[in-house]
Structure 1
Amino acid sequence: MPTVRDITFNLLRRLGLTTIVGNPGSTEETFLQNFPDDFQYILALHESCVVAIADGIAQGLKTPVLVNVHTNAGLGNAMGNIITSYLSKSPLIITAGQQTRSMLLCEPFLANVQAETLPRPWVKWSYEPKRPQDVPGAFMRAYATAVQQPTGPVFLSLPMDDWDQTMDDIDVFRTTSTCIAPDPCRVAEFAEAINRSARPAVVYGGDVARGNAWKEGIAFAEKLGAPVWQGPLSERISFPQDHPLFAGTLPPAIGPLGNALHGHDLLLVVGAPVFRYYPWVPGEYLPSGARLLHITDDPYEAAKAVVGDSLISDSGLALVELSKHIRRRDGTTTYVKAGKQDRGQSSIHDFPSPMTARQLFALLSECIPEEYIVVSESPSNMAEFSQTKIGRITKPDSYYMTASGGLGWGMPAAVGLALAEKRTGKNRPVIVIVGDGSFQFSPQSIWTAVQLDLHVIYVVLKNEQYGILKAFASQERLENVPGLDIPGIDIVSLGKGYGAKTCRAETSDRIRECFSGALSERGVTVIEVPIGKNILKHQ
């Protein structure tokens, strides 16, 4: 008779789950022994990196990815980036080994006590099979749960002695739909409200990008002739930021957000939460007299929204159906973006050292190719980044950011995205804009990128402080907050220790030289750039 392992691995092949990202422990070795030649095991040096690398692969290839971490200790290490993958709606099948079933009653060393509880509420489903013979069926249910909207991570706890148990040669494979279509009656109601409005506005969020609805989003906005805002703290960009209808990014606070939308009588939010707020700045949720319509594939997001009427649907399908019912408005308007932006190809500049973050971004903008991916994890410089050419995103699937606000996601996620680029043959360079504080959360990911021979460029902004926290402290009038300075870290040595090419660039010419070389030579490069310590007010 076949074993549980035989049946499970055959199922994983049929599901396309032949890539496993992991960091093995003793309770996982029975699963991984005699590893099949048609599977790929990607080793990361810490469980938080494991999850984020898998997240990057899942988002880059738009497919589920299998994750393997070590019992309760490894799962605990992974939790920060599991939260991010949940909010990014990344379909990860996360597994962890469990101690031998015959010892679980006495809770032996490395037992995952109440294994199903630990990852909640940040997985869609959490389960430990009751019998060894239930393992294949549990994988099938996990896969079906992960890929159904709203997509997201699931968790399986797998006792280490299950794999060699025999079972009947059963076929548990099945298919499931992955899209939620909109209710026609609700579409008609939304279309009627839109057609009645005098000055509507559109807000797009990450679901539009995740659902491959970039073109549908453009077509809808152009037919409506309305300004398009990016939702606050959006982990993906879903509308070209050089489009004449792009109005900017909404601020993540109640009062400022309501003020930014002043003058609109109807707001259509598609594929974004309503809204992501931080920090606390009181005010009106919406401009006086405005109505909000919310389209989301997540019933939970619809239920917790503080304002608005909701429609549960895939973003792309909803936009297509709505477009059939809304009237075309004559002409389009170019909307003035908040803040000064660098347009077109940046002119050549030379800046004194240490330069500002914006000056650095201007230098990088001189060198960027036509096609590239940006992963952003330098929170104190987000506003400056978006005002320069490198940060003005004009193409789909080219910008990624942590959805949870947790640090340590960007660097390993870039590894997964670069692997996806290599597999698809697109081979766009992945540029990571990361602060020296954020860098310390997952430098181990550099090693995996080097081992896989990927094209990743880490541009590390070094100001020897947690700039975003100092900005918040200033805004909230807090004094004498400890732990906000991080002097004495040698970024170049850390990158070199993991096998990357490295350079320290202080002058304009040296930055151009290092960045251009990293783009052309491929491989993994860490570029340390000292910047000024001036703190901008957080926006």
Structure 2
Amino acid sequence: MSDGATTVRQATLDLLRDLEMTTVFGNPGSTELPLLDRWPNDFRYVLGLQEASVVAMADGYARASGRAAFCNLHSAVGVGHALGNIFSAYRNHAPLVITAGQQVRSLLPIQPFLGATEAANFPKPYVKWSCEPARAEDVPAAIAHAYHVAMQRPFGPTFVSIPIDDWAVPTRPVPTRRVSRDVAPDPALLAEAARAVAAAKNPVLVIGPEVDGEGAGPAAVALAERIGAPVWTSPFSARVSFPEDHPLFAGFLTAAPAEVANALAPHDLILVLGAPVFTFHVGGDCALFTGDTPLFQITTDGEAAASSPIGTAILGSMRLALPALADLLPASAGRTPPAPRPRPPEPEPATPIPAAFMLRTLSRVMPRDAILVEEAPSHRKTMQAQLPIREWGGFFTMASGGLGYSLPGAVGVSLASPGRRVVCLIGDGSMMYSVQALWTAVQHALPITVVVVNNGGYGAMRAFSQVLKVQNAPGIELPGLDFVSIARGMGCEAVRVTEPDAVEAALATALAAPGPRLVEVVVDPAIPKLYGKS
């Protein structure tokens, strides 16, 4: 090779080094082997045993690190397996560069085995950009393109399909580039928002996951304190949105239109930071949408801004917008501080174990800097009451509503957070979607404590059956699952707890273990209430 040419494979590896994507999440097949040949020592390959788990691991790693993660899947079938968590990554705003192997280019016209028809279209619309390069020599440039799109706010997954015979083709190295990822807000609109906030007598803030995603949490706290207004977490926020022990923290907005309207009705201005307006899970009328309460929304998500039914949307990065808005505001003199949020009563131990008792116990023994990764939807309301998250970067869940994310997501979060305990709080139904991720945690000796909340079925479906007045629906009960045996079969120590007096010791022991441990807690199967007062 001359004129500075190298192979597609070498140019890609050099590019990944330049972009700090030397941790690769994958589940390999034949079409990926040329990339993996003579795997370099400075790269880490994280093997997942199913492609959905692979994508969720990469998602957790990307969100916890704030950097794009590289994910390698096997052909169209592997992308198909992964699509649920690709959708979650899109909703989570997780920056991923996903690649998948493709058959030899010369065979593609005759529909070969493992050939993907219209490979670049397969994961759409839930990737920000995708392609199968027209020429083999364009593969490294396509991966660079995918990286820069993934890292433009709002972050998200991208996709490149790569034929198996492309890796050995000569190409040129991809030059190192810098592409700005933050967008400054319109100064005139920001000044308008500042005037409205300053004039309001009783404003309120609603904060969503973009704030934590940009590392703008301290700026959000400073802004809230300057305004002197209560702060609600946006519905279904997939990250911590405000320190839940802060005096201004008002609680969590539910995903029900009437309840959101009722919570915000006393206020004469609504300021939404880093969230849609609003995310709902059930139908109904939201009185805010037909009222005259002014609303300002600051977000990087143009689609969320465009789809908002009311208010003035200001597109801009939290990192730039929040300090700029605070600088335009006077101090909050004259505003009465909101009343402290009442602490729920101490749950009493009982048999069967109340979920609230287990969660309060977990909150008491969990290290303050631990990271909670949650997928126990029927217990989320109880978790929010009993297990406050106090630290930025301390909470992750999925924004999509799809199960099978949080166990492998916890693996990725742990890989990106050396030295910190990760707690995966997961329901028994959720656990079975991506249970094989436990094997990866064992192989990497990750300090993950998996707490399985076993209520013997899909608790959220029990609750929604009540909401929808559905009776005797099949497929909700899950008898006969033994999570201790499943965990031990993958090399993970585990214990089952059925009595309240054993909860604290079991959790404390698991939290102190150097590697992964699983605690299955059998809880009261009583049906929780998703919306309204419990």
TM-score, reference length from structure 2: 0.96
Question: Which among 157, 164, 186 is matched to residue 168 of structure 2?
Answer: 164
Q: Which residue of 2 aligns with 1:297?
A: 300
Q: Which residue of 2 aligns with 1:404?
A: 400
1:93 positional shift: 0.3
Question: Which among 87, 100, 104 is matched to residue 100 of structure 1?
Answer: 104
Question: Which among 266, 272, 277 is matched to residue 274 of structure 1?
Answer: 277
Question: How far apart, in 2, do the equivalents of 1:106 and 1:177 lie?
Answer: 42
Question: How far apart, in 1, do the equivalents of 2:284 and 2:354 lie?
Answer: 27
1:200 aligns with 2:226: no
Question: How far apart, in 1, do the equivalents of 2:75 and 2:288 lie?
Answer: 44
2:517 alignment partner, SS class: strand
Question: Which among 233, 246, 257 is matched to residue 230 of structure 1?
Answer: 233
What value does the CA root-mean-square deviation take over the aligned residues? 1.4
1:375 aligns with 2:373: yes
User: Amino acid of the residue matched to residue 266 of structure 1?
Assistant: L
1:473 aligns with 2:465: yes
1:288 positional shift: 3.4
Question: How far apart, in 1, do the equivalents of 2:339 and 2:110 lie?
Answer: 66
2:288 alignment partner, SS class: coil
Of the structure 1 ranges 298-307 and 365-374, higher mean CA displacement relative to structure 2 is found in 365-374
How big is each residue's C-alpha offset from its partner over 1:494-535, in whole Å with a ceiling of 9 and x where there is no partner? 111111110011123322221111111221111111111110
1:490 aligns with 2:482: yes
User: Amino acid of the residue matched to residue 186 of structure 2?
Assistant: D
Question: How far apart, in 2, do the equivalents of 1:287 and 1:99 lie?
Answer: 55
Question: How far apart, in 2, do the equivalents of 1:287 and 1:355 lie?
Answer: 44
Stretches (4+) displaced over 3 A = 169-172, 285-288, 334-337
Question: Which among 301, 313, 317 is matched to residue 314 of structure 1?
Answer: 317
Question: How far apart, in 2, do the equivalents of 1:455 and 1:314 lie?
Answer: 33
1:352 positional shift: 2.5
1:453 aligns with 2:445: yes
1:340 positional shift: 4.8
1:287 positional shift: 7.8
Q: Which residue of 1 aligns with 2:64?
A: 60
Q: 1:269, 1:294 within 8 Å by CA — same for their partners in 2?
A: yes
Identity among equivalent pairs (%):
40
1:155 alignment partner, SS class: strand
Question: How far apart, in 1, do the equivalents of 2:510 and 2:173 lie?
Answer: 51
How big is each residue's C-alpha offset from its partner over 1:375-418, in whole Å with a ceiling of 9 and x where there is no partner? 11110111111111xx2011110011111011110000101111
Q: 1:217, 1:316 within 8 Å by CA — same for their partners in 2?
A: no
Q: 1:261, 1:287 within 8 Å by CA — same for their partners in 2?
A: no
How big is each residue's C-alpha offset from its partner over 1:82-131, in whole Å with a ceiling of 9 and x where there is no partner? 11111111110000000000000011111111111111111110100000
Question: Which among 383, 390, 397 is matched to residue 394 of structure 1?
Answer: 390
Question: How far apart, in 2, do the equivalents of 1:211 and 1:353 lie?
Answer: 43
Between the two proteins, the alignment pairs up a number of residues equal to 526
Question: Which among 148, 153, 158 is matched to residue 154 of structure 1?
Answer: 158
Question: Which among 254, 259, 264 is matched to residue 251 of structure 1?
Answer: 254
1:460 alignment partner, SS class: strand
1:27 alignment partner, SS class: helix
Of the structure 1 ranges 173-182 and 119-128, higher mean CA displacement relative to structure 2 is found in 173-182
1:174 aligns with 2:172: no
1:387 alignment partner, SS class: helix
1:31 aligns with 2:45: no
1:211 aligns with 2:194: no
Q: 1:267, 1:290 within 8 Å by CA — same for their partners in 2?
A: yes
Structure 2 stretches lacking a partner, 5+ long:
none
List aligned pairs for 1:504-515, cutoff 5 A. Answer: 504-515=496-507
Of the structure 1 ranges 94-103 and 513-522, higher mean CA displacement relative to structure 2 is found in 513-522
Question: How far apart, in 1, do the equivalents of 2:348 and 2:268 lie?
Answer: 46
How big is each residue's C-alpha offset from its partner over 1:172-212, in whole Å with a ceiling of 9 and x where there is no partner? 33110111111111111111221222211111000000011
1:336 positional shift: 4.5
How big is each residue's C-alpha offset from its partner over 1:4-41, in whole Å with a ceiling of 9 and x where there is no partner? 11212111111111111000011111111111111111
Q: 2:248, 2:340 within 8 Å by CA — same for their partners in 1?
A: no
How big is each residue's C-alpha offset from its partner over 1:282-301, in whole Å with a ceiling of 9 and x where there is no partner? 34234833111111101111
Question: How far apart, in 2, do the equivalents of 1:471 and 1:519 lie?
Answer: 31
Question: How far apart, in 2, do the equivalents of 1:255 and 1:416 lie?
Answer: 37
Question: How far apart, in 2, do the equivalents of 1:350 and 1:193 lie?
Answer: 46
Q: Which residue of 1 aligns with 2:416?
A: 420
User: Amino acid of the residue matched to residue 98 of structure 2?
Assistant: I
Q: Which residue of 1 aligns with 2:116?
A: 112
Q: Which residue of 2 aligns with 1:538?
A: 530
1:503 aligns with 2:499: no
